[in-house]
């Protein structure tokens, strides 16, 4: 009886413990349901239901960033996008441009600096291209260091000052021997931007090409200050920048068939005697060549210079004949005068084609070397020879416009050979026959002189000063060049920062 009583007394306690355990299990299940570890039996989805995954922390941050950043203005976005599209349409590494490199193994992403629009930060422009590790590593020491590991890579360069210029620098890595030609016609500011990027990524061929371009083309006065400032900021070796800075410092601190047809037409054209049809056909051939030049008509450099040398030989022959005639042979002199004018006009026609095809650099050296022709030129009357000086004027204009890129030594030799003859013939060039554009010639001559080192500028302009006082309007008026030289020499007097070597040594206690 007692045992029964004890048993009945113990049952309530065990039931209480069971109830507590059940409550704890229910609380645990409820907690797990709330935290998503298990599903509620009454809220379980049907069998065909596909749950949407919860957003990750990266997704949440991306959404928040997209809410904070506003898109850039449509005008600025369109402008840079048009430039980038134009570059990519001609880029050698694009698959739609007869790509010989195959699939790219480096995804290169360029991101512009973020800008503020209406007090809020706008989304930065970015562009991604697939390029080739072997090309980047071969041309840029920066990429060679970063891409040492084989395989595919993803490179992102942030805060680019100009995404389009940075992309163009990458495109230029693929140009090889045509790198110099690709730079022709670019503004100085564009070349400086390419130089800055080429220096930053250690693209040595790009740095060299930009410096050679800057050394050869004319600068405006505003541009020369920008050039000096940029070169000082880049801290390039003096040996690489001295040639560029010498002008402002005293111290150096189509098919073979097309080629053959053009050659045949040219010889027939240049030998024609009738002036009017010859002039019309020259204009026609010249216009056709300019129209077809964009389609890469295959007129070779050798062919053009073969014609040029033939014109030059004919010109020397005419002048040699003119020096042998006396005053009694006036009829022969008149015919010879016509021959000289025709051969000089032929030469100018060939030079125009060379300049348009960006092949005029060798002619400047060829013309500078014509010492014999210059001597013959000085021995015959101005009325017969002045057409030859138009060739000199034509070369000055092309150099002054940056259409012909030659070293300073050749530019100085060219002026040393032919400048005095140009001074002597200038009055006749303006008045006789097909007159020249006086202002155009004077501007071209001025710019050509100002591309030389400062000491050579002084030598030429001091002689011009005496000549102008004597001849007045019969001499080219290049006072503007004189003013710029004067300010460079005596007013501005640029000081180029010297890159001194730093020597580190241990000092004993």
Residue 229 has a CB neighbour count (10 Å cut-off) of 12
Select from 222, 239, 269 the last residue of a domain. 222
pLDDT of residue 170: 92
Tokens 């080192």 — which residue?
453
In a domain, residue 505? The reply is no
In a domain, residue 160? The reply is yes
pLDDT digits (tens, 9 = 90+) for 249-286: 765 444 457 788 899 999 999 999 888 999 999 999 99
Percent of the chain residues topping a pLDDT of 90: 42
Eight-state DSSP code of residue 56: P
The 10 Å CB-count burial string (b at 16+, else e) for 155-176 is beeeebebbbbbbbbbbbbbbe
Rounded distance between C-alpha atoms, residue 143 and residue 108, angstroms = 11
Tokens 């002084």 — which residue?
458
In a domain, residue 227? The reply is no
Residues 40 and 93 in one domain: no
Residues 91 and 8 in one domain: no
Residue 477 has a CB neighbour count (10 Å cut-off) of 17
pLDDT digits (tens, 9 = 90+) for 354-399: 999 899 999 999 999 999 999 999 988 888 889 999 999 999 999 9
Rounded distance between C-alpha atoms, residue 313 and residue 305, angstroms = 12
* 37 pLDDT more than 50: no
Residues 39 and 151 in one domain: no
Say which residue, 278 or 298, is predicted with more confidence: 278
In a domain, residue 471? The reply is yes
Residues 306 and 454 in one domain: yes
Asked if 319 contacts 368 with a C-beta cutoff of 8 angstroms, the reply is: no
Our count of domains for the chain comes to 3
Say which residue, 435 or 219, is predicted with more confidence: 219
Residues 265 and 404 in one domain: yes
Cβ within 8 Å of residue 359, ≥6 positions away? 301, 304, 305
pLDDT band at 294 (very low <50, low <70, confident <90, very high): low
Select from 222, 246, 281 the last residue of a domain. 222
Rounded distance between C-alpha atoms, residue 275 and residue 273, angstroms = 6
Residue 368 has a CB neighbour count (10 Å cut-off) of 21
Residue of 486, 403, 406, 407 whose CA lies nearest to 440: 403
| Domain, as residue range, for 13 | 1-48
Distance of CA 367 to CAs 312, 413, 416, 454, Å? 9, 9, 11, 23
Residues 203 and 275 in one domain: no
pLDDT of residue 31: 39
pLDDT digits (tens, 9 = 90+) for 53-96: 444 433 433 333 333 334 445 577 788 888 888 888 888 887 55
Rounded distance between C-alpha atoms, residue 248 and residue 405, angstroms = 19
CATH assignment at residue 158: 3.30.710.10
In a domain, residue 509? The reply is no
In a domain, residue 236? The reply is no
In a domain, residue 239? The reply is no
Residues 205 and 159 in one domain: yes
In a domain, residue 230? The reply is no
Residues 203 and 277 in one domain: no
Residues 131 and 171 in one domain: yes
Residues 272 and 356 in one domain: yes
Rounded distance between C-alpha atoms, residue 367 and residue 125, angstroms = 50
Assign 195 to helix, strand or coil: helix
Percent of the chain residues topping a pLDDT of 70: 74
Average pLDDT over residues 202-221: 93
Altogether, the residues listed in the chain come to a count of 509
pLDDT of residue 84: 87
Residues 316 and 352 in one domain: yes
Strand bridging mode 106-112 / 126-131: antiparallel
Please give the structure tokens belonging to residue 430: 């303006």
Strand bridging mode 106-112 / 153-160: parallel
Residues 90 and 35 in one domain: no
Rounded distance between C-alpha atoms, residue 509 and residue 506, angstroms = 9
Strand bridging mode 116-117 / 106-112: unpaired
The 10 Å CB-count burial string (b at 16+, else e) for 348-364 is bbbbbbbbebbbbbbbb
Select from 195, 222, 249 the last residue of a domain. 222
Rounded distance between C-alpha atoms, residue 332 and residue 340, angstroms = 12
Please give the structure tokens belonging to residue 507: 């000092």
């Amino acid at each position: 009886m007692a045992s029964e009583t004890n048993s009945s007394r113990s049952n309530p306690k065990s039931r209480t413990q069971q109830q507590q355990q059940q409550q704890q299990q229910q609380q645990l299940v409820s907690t797990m349901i709330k935290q998503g570890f298990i599903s509620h039996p009454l809220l379980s989805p049907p069998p065909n239901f596909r749950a949407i995954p919860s957003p990750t922390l990266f997704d949440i941050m991306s959404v928040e960033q997209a809410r904070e950043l506003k898109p850039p203005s449509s005008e600025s976005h369109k402008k840079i996008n048009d430039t980038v599209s134009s570059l990519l349409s001609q880029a050698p590494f694009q698959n739609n441009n007869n790509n010989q490199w195959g699939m790219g193994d480096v995804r290169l992403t360029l991101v512009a600096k973020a800008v503020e629009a209406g007090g809020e930060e706008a989304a930065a422009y970015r562009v991604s291209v697939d390029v080739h590790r072997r090309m980047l590593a071969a041309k840029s020491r920066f990429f060679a260091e970063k891409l040492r590991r084989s395989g595919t890579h993803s490179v992102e360069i942030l805060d680019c000052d100009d995404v389009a210029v940075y992309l163009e620098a990458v495109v230029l890595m693929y140009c090889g021997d045509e790198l110099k030609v690709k730079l022709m016609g670019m503004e100085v500011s564009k070349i400086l931007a390419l130089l800055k990027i080429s220096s930053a990524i250690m693209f040595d061929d790009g740095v060299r090409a930009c410096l050679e371009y800057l050394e050869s083309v004319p600068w405006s006065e505003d541009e020369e200050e920008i050039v000096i400032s940029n070169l000082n900021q880049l801290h390039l070796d003096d040996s690489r920048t001295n040639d560029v800075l010498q002008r402002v410092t005293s111290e150096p601190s189509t098919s073979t068939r097309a080629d053959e047809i053009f050659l045949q037409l040219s010889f027939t054209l240049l030998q024609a005697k009738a002036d009017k049809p010859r002039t019309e056909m020259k204009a026609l051939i010249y216009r056709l060549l300019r129209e077809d030049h964009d389609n890469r008509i295959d007129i070779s450099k050798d062919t053009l210079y073969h014609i040029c040398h033939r014109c030059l030989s004919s010109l020397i022959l005419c002048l040699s004949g003119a020096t042998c005639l006396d005053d009694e042979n006036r009829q022969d002199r008149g015919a010879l005068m016509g021959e000289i004018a025709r051969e000089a006009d032929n030469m100018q026609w060939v030079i125009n084609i060379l300049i348009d095809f960006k092949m005029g650099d060798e002619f400047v050296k060829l013309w500078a070397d014509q010492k014999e022709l210059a001597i013959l030129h000085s021995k015959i009357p101005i009325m017969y020879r002045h057409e030859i000086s138009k060739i000199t004027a034509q070369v000055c204009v092309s150099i002054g416009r940056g259409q012909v890129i030659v070293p300073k030594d050749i530019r100085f030799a060219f002026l040393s050979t032919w400048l005095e003859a140009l001074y002597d013939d200038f009055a006749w060039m303006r008045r006789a026959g097909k007159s020249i554009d006086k202002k155009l010639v004077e501007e071209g001559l001025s710019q050509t002189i100002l591309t030389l080192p400062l000491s050579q500028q002084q030598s030429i302009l001091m002689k011009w000063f005496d000549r102008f006082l004597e001849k007045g309007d019969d001499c080219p008026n290049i006072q503007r060049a004189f003013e710029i030289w004067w300010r460079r020499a005596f007013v501005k007097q640029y000081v180029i920062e010297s890159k001194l070597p730093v020597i580190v040594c241990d000092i004993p206690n």
